[in-house]
A and B are shown apart, each in its own frame.
Chain A
Amino acid sequence: MSHAEDSIIVCRCEDVTLGEIRKAIREGAVTLDEVKRITRAGMGPCQGRTCRLLVAGEIARFCGKHVSGILQSKYRPPVKPVKMGDLAALELTPLSEPGHGQQSGASPECTCGKAVNGR
């Protein structure tokens, strides 16, 4: 592996280079979560949309496995970054499906876990 390759930016959100990712893998990281926890690759605003597959490919190459055999990390909400002010301004209107939002106690705090409409 050349030095030039090591300086390629793999995670653009967090400025993580291929060299840093390869170092973490050499030191024992064999899952996307471990690489993420060590280097921050995939923790930025795009949440790994660009670098996930590249990192998985690096792990796979190092471990001699197929990419499909590399443990993925979870996709976490929100799908796109959302301003805290917009979230605070949301009015949560309960859905009118049976068993949800029908009881008199239905309120913005409804915590039954079912989907709740935004605005």
Chain B
Amino acid sequence: MKTRADAVVIGGGVVGAAIAYNLAKLGLKDTVVCEKHTFASGSTGRCGAGVREQWGAEGNIRMCKAAIDIFETLQEELEYDYDIEFVQKGYLMLAYTEKEWEQFKANLKVQHRLGVNAVALTPEEAREIVPSLNIEGLYGATYNPRDGHANPFHTTRAYLKAFERLGGEVYCFTEVTGIEQSNGKIQKVRTTRGDISTPVVVNAAGPWAAPVAAMVGIDLPVYTERHQILVTEPVGRLFDPMLMSFSRGFYSQQTPHGSIIMGIGDPDEPKGYDIGHSWQFLKRMCDIMCSVVPALMGVRVVRQWSGLYTISPDAHPILGTVSGIDGYYQAVGFSGHGFMLAPIVGKVIAEMILDRPLSIDISGLDLGRFERGDLRVEPSVV
């Protein structure tokens, strides 16, 4: 293991992997990723991996638009020998209450202004896109064909493999236990496998972002919350787009492999690090999805699991530098949509570290916004 590096990235999830790759691509020589377990073992390997431009807040729309631009050529860019399975079959957002439908229409206005080609559909038009859809109780839907999903394991691994080819090193089973600074400058990272001197450290520790930030004395305003999810056996095509509703709290996609992944939010979920699973989730999930797509009744659940959302006060990530600590960067608090943001966040954080012009303005997403009282608002989160 190296004892000195130009930068140490903490976390081998999709965000850390994307940052590390972009640093190496921009020419930083000795970059290291420290991952306490294995690649994608945190939130990334447990996520729904959906990617959408259909947001309500301008910042999220801009970032996701830029991220999809990158996703579209990522397989080739990373020269990956497996498939990251990025497919663009759209998101069909389903409104089951009048309030939700009003929100979707308001979101569309912002989306159109920013160049997103989402459209409003009547229930019948929605059924033309997804013939298996039960439209009972549906007010309307919006659809954006450019949205989609990818394979989270392979996306992360593709970034890490490309990073290694560019000379970077990935240390798995290597937990960062401390960060040393002096005179307001980062000096060293302590790990379970030895110390690494470095002027730059990046906190991409996902659900463990707060304990890592505490190592440099930062009190991050984030909390973690379990989200449960399941996958079925592979079956013939039942639907192409990702199906999603906020009022009913679900999302579901059929992977290229044919299995169907679905998750649902639980308003009563306590904060914490529990990643167990419950019968109540299975029952509620199946209840809801069997009514949305009745053909699912005959499809078998193969596996259920859960992962953590890391939630910030305004459901937007916390990105960039922190005043008073030279060399510390963070990309944390993704609030349940960090997979889709990773390609653009990885790029911008690397540009920031190397003092390059930024591909996208993220100045409003720093930690300082909470002190300034300059919070973003995002109405469309599951």
With both beta carbons as reference points, the residue of chain A lying nearest to B279 in the complex is identified as: A116
Interface size class of B (residues with CB under 8 A): 35 or more
A83 touches B157 (CB 8 A): no
B38 touches A81 (CB 8 A): no
Q: Decide yes or no whether A64 CB sits under 8 A from chain B.
A: no
- Residues of chain B lying within 8 A (CB to CB) of residue A83: 297-301
A78 touches B305 (CB 8 A): no
Within 8 A of A (CB), among B250-275: 257, 266, 268
The CA-CA distance from A43 to B38 in the complex, in Å, is 18
Majority secondary structure of chain A interface residues (helix, strand, loop or mixed): loop
Listed residue (A43, A76, A88) with the most chain B CB atoms within 10 angstroms of its CB: A88
- Among A31, A84, A108, point to the contact of B300 (Cβ < 8 A): A84
- Over the window 318-347 of chain B, the binary record of Cβ atoms lying under 8 Å from chain A Cβ atoms (1 yes, 0 no) is 000000000000000000000000000000
B38 touches A47 (CB 8 A): no
- Least Cβ–Cβ distance between A18 and chain B, in angstroms: 17
- Residues of chain A lying within 8 A (CB to CB) of residue B257: 40
The CA-CA distance from A34 to B173 in the complex, in Å, is 13
**With A40-B257, A84-B232, A111-B280 as contacts: A76 and B290 at CB distance below 8 Å:** no
Q: Decide yes or no whether B287 CB sits under 8 A from chain A.
A: yes
Residues of A near any B CB (own CB < 8 A): 27, 31, 33-34, 37-38, 40, 43-45, 47, 74, 76-78, 81-85, 87-88, 90, 92, 108-111, 113, 115-116, 118
The CA-CA distance from A102 to B3 in the complex, in Å, is 59
Q: Decide yes or no whether B286 CB sits under 8 A from chain A.
A: yes
- Residues of chain B lying within 8 A (CB to CB) of residue A33: 38, 41, 45
Listed from nearest, the 9 A-B pairs whose CB atoms lie closest are A85-B297, A81-B300, A37-B153, A87-B286, A88-B286, A84-B286, A88-B290, A88-B287, A76-B303
B277 touches A76 (CB 8 A): yes
